[in-house]
Amino acid sequence: MTWMITGGAGYIGSHVLRALVADGQRVVVLDDLSTGDPERLPAGVPLVRGSVLDREVLDRALREHDVRGIVHIAAKKQVGESVDRPLWYYRENVEGLRTVLEAAVEAQVRSFVFSSSAAVYGMPDVDLVTEQTPCEPMNPYGETKLAGEWLVSAVGRAHGIATASMRYFNVAGAAAPELGDPGVTNLVPMVFDRLSQGLPPLVFGDDYPTPDGTCIRDFVHVQDIASAHVAAARRLTEDQAAHLVLNIGRGEGVSVAEMVRVIQEISGHAGPAAQVVARRPGDPARVVASAEAISKELGWSATHDIREMVSSAWAGWQLRHPS
């Protein structure tokens, strides 16, 4: 059996790829390389360069590599950008997924793992977010992920494809420096960027109803994200009746202020002190996953703590910014 990973040359996709390869799975990557890097692929893993919107490329890749399972990670993922360009996000994320699923049905793919997001929940007013927490996304990105979950489930049930939609919480860290997150839109690399310029880290609001006034989030190591996908792939291979929707998180909240202090300590940039600026619209005070369902369904739990996330991410940052 061969698994196709769409977006497998990207930050998260390359970690999932290496975890599947380490698990002994045959893998092929489909990536348009708009944000991916072919250097992330291990030797011997085939790369098909193309868009998830291109049926001809999809059909040929599925046929030539005898693909029977798909991990669909390729997507646009910037919240602010999705607000500015909703038509593009719906095209790339929803129409792209529909095209992949249509090709999968024709190729008789039997297992499908979908990369979703905690953004489907919006601003949940609960201590722990379970899979039964109402989904009220607040931006087009979150909407496309929720619509994607509906589409994956409907197609899976209609065509006998085992499915799993994996809701990522706040991803950080790297398995190796060369696999680090190249962007500066997530908290950890955003703070690295500010500190490297001698600027204070920005904290968006310190008047939330939390112990230190800053937002609380569930940070999860990208290697744990990858191992969760391996567990899901195994489950779907063994259980063709499975249709899962699962959080991937540690079930532990860390405040933004606490995370900034850990980043400053590990990076060796003790100052300047964080600068508090206005809240960002739509930022909930607390979003922490319940990890009970994924433990029960897949026997999975996170194994990396925030210090491991930050230290591995810092090594990747230093590799890309040696000055």
Active site (catalytic) residues: 141
| pLDDT score for 272 | 74
Give residue 297's pLDDT band: very low, low, confident or very high (50, 70, 90): very high
Give residue 184's pLDDT band: very low, low, confident or very high (50, 70, 90): confident
Give residue 185's pLDDT band: very low, low, confident or very high (50, 70, 90): confident
Q: CA dihedral defined by 130, 109, 22, 226, rounded to 10 degrees?
A: -20
Top-level class of domain 2-171+220-248 = alpha beta
* pTM, entire model: 0.95
Contacts of residue 76, Cβ cutoff 8 Å, sequence gap at least 6: 82, 88, 89, 92, 93, 141
Q: Distance (Å, rounded) from C-alpha 17 to C-alpha 10?
A: 10
What's the chain's average pLDDT?
95
Domain boundaries, the chain: 2-171+220-248, 173-217+251-288+303-320
Q: Distance (Å, rounded) from C-alpha 180 to C-alpha 202?
A: 21
Bridge partner residues of 276 (DSSP): 203
- In angstroms, the first-to-last Cα distance of the chain is 45
Give the amino acid at 316: G
Order the strands of the 286-287 sheet from edge to edge: 254-255, 216-217, 286-287
pLDDT digits (tens, 9 = 90+) for 238-289: 999 999 999 999 999 999 999 999 999 999 987 778 899 999 887 889 999 9
Same fold, 2-171+220-248 and 173-217+251-288+303-320: no
| pLDDT score for 281 | 80
| pLDDT score for 250 | 97
Supply the CATH classification number for the domain 173-217+251-288+303-320: 3.90.25.10
Give the amino acid at 75: A
Tell me what percent of the residues of the chain surpass a pLDDT of 90.
Answer: 91
Q: Distance (Å, rounded) from C-alpha 212 to C-alpha 225?
A: 28
